[in-house]
């Protein structure tokens, strides 16, 4: 497993990623090193440029397990797939189990479950959902 301090420095990373004479296997190897170090966004950049779908799918699985909604969504974009509602609900449930309500709220929002996301946000902030609605309509003559 590559450690963060063993990763290529910025200039070398850029040469591997954008170099015209760099082989796909080099990009894939660099992507794997970044993935093993937990730097999934960087890994995705290498995998996109080397057509390494199996590694992108591995990142999807890691993101689901770790409740990393932004990485999950980005990997789905790389795969040119739309996240399924069930996947987003699963990641939200797991995020709540792991005491990560912010990630759960983001997943629920992306799943189209806006009310559930709002409830979780209100639990975190300690404000009731009704209080939020009253604040947004205060002063405009509506209730």
CA nearest neighbour of 63 among 77, 52, 46: 77
Kindly tell me the number of DSSP H helices and DSSP E strands found in the chain: 9, 0
CA nearest neighbour of 43 among 65, 75, 11, 12: 75
CB atoms within 10 A of CB 117: 20
At residue 125, the pLDDT reads 82
At residue 128, the pLDDT reads 62
Task: For the chain of 143 residues, list the mean pLDDT of each consecutive stretch of 10.
Answer: 72 90 94 96 95 96 95 96 96 95 95 95 74 44 44
At residue 82, the pLDDT reads 96
At residue 139, the pLDDT reads 45
At residue 124, the pLDDT reads 81
At residue 2, the pLDDT reads 57
């Amino acid at each position: 497993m590559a450690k963060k301090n063993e990763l290529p420095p910025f200039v070398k990373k850029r040469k591997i990623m954008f170099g015209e004479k760099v082989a796909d296997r080099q990009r894939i190897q660099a992507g794997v090193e970044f993935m093993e170090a937990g730097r999934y966004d960087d890994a995705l950049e290498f995998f996109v440029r080397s057509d390494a779908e199996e590694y992108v799918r591995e990142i999807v699985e890691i993101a689901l397990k770790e409740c990393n909604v932004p990485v999950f969504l980005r990997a789905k974009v790389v795969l040119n797939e739309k996240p399924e509602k069930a996947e987003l609900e699963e990641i939200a449930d797991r995020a709540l189990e792991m005491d990560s309500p912010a990630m759960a709220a983001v997943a629920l929002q992306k799943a189209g479950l806006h009310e559930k996301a709002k409830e979780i946000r209100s639990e975190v902030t300690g404000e009731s959902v009704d209080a939020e609605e009253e604040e947004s309509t205060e002063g405009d003559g509506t209730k």
